[in-house]
Amino acid sequence: MILPSLRSSTPSLFRSFSTSRARSIMQPLQVYTAGTPNGWTVPICLEELKKVNPELKWEIHPINIGQNQQKEDWFLKINPNGRIPAIVDPNNGDFAVFETSAILLYLEKKYDPDHVLSWPSSNPQADNLRSEVLQWMFFAHGGIAAMQGQANHFRMQGLGGKNYIPYALNRYIDETKRLYGVLDLRLKDRDYLVGEGRGKFTLADIRAGGWVFSHGFAGIPRSEVPDSVNKWVDRLLERDAFVAGLKTPSEGPIVKNAMANRDWVAEMPKE
Ligand SMILES: N[C@@H](CCC(=O)N[C@@H](CS)C(=O)NCC(=O)O)C(=O)O
């Protein structure tokens, strides 16, 4: 989305990030996010990219979704959908991007010149591998994130509360578990969702990882997550950049609990 200038911008300075001059003049990306599975994806991606592009800069603007800051007029100018995450890129005329997967793909296009989170076009399989990244991102975006998000919503209504609807809760929890089963089919003989051989860490893992990491918040115990999927999450948690992203904007209770005890399941509120 092209925004009327939110801040003073210098689009003429923006060139391909592949030149070291462009890196040295980079202005910080403005990241609007919260400590949720969709919200973590953008800081995870940036932390991963910073490992290869130390000049990459960003500023985090924590959005308090409990207080509906994401529905305020100023934020709707950035994301008309009124949800986190969203970014504004001052290096590109204050271009705004919303929808998690669209943001990740924007960051890859603009700030991953070495294709560490995807594939260089010089790879003869690049188009197919990129398609596979998109397939697993869309699967996570429209499947896991949507279903597990609804499971979280119905669970938070509380046991016995006026909005306690066992059918809806079970429907979304069962569907989330079914989707974990799809991940299991994929991960049984590989380390990451996409890539030759056992795969390589890509945007697809970033898109899905935080959701599965927080299965306990949706009321799904580790014992009900397939073994290959638990091992994949454990593998993601070995990455410092991934963990740093999970702790952004700050280390919230889901992350604290789930890191301290991978068997943690959030208690369902009483009502
Ligand atoms: N499809 C959107 C979903 C974003 C979303 O649902 N974000 C949640 C947090 S994980 C949110 O902003 N919730 C607050 C609200 O719904 O108002 C995306 O992938 O960016």
* Residue 261 confidence (pLDDT) above 60: yes
* Residue 23 confidence (pLDDT) above 90: no
Question: Ligand 1: which residue has its CA nearest to atom 15?
Answer: 83
Q: What's the confidence (pLDDT) of residue 271?
A: 74
pLDDT digits (tens, 9 = 90+) for 206-246: 999 999 999 999 999 999 999 999 999 999 999 999 999 99
- Tell me the average pLDDT across 74-92: 98
Q: What is the distance of C-alpha 255 from the center of its chain?
A: 14
Q: Write the CB contacts of 259 (distance below 8 Å, at least 6 apart in sequence).
A: 237, 243, 246
- Tell me the average pLDDT across 184-209: 98
**Cα 163 to Cα 80, 118, 168, 234, distances in angstroms:** 28, 43, 10, 35
Q: What's the confidence (pLDDT) of residue 1?
A: 57
**Cα 82 to Cα 6, 71, 96, 245, distances in angstroms:** 17, 5, 13, 22
Q: What's the confidence (pLDDT) of residue 3?
A: 57
- Tell me the average pLDDT across 184-204: 98
Closest CA to 270 of 138, 150, 163: 163
Query: Ligand 1: which atom is nearest the Cα of residue 65?
Result: 14
Residue 36 near ligand 1, beta carbon < 6 Å: yes
- Mutation choice for ligand 1 from 31, 38, 172, CB with most ligand atoms inside 8 A: 38
Domains plus CATH for the chain? 11-111 (3.40.30.10), 126-260 (1.20.1050.10)
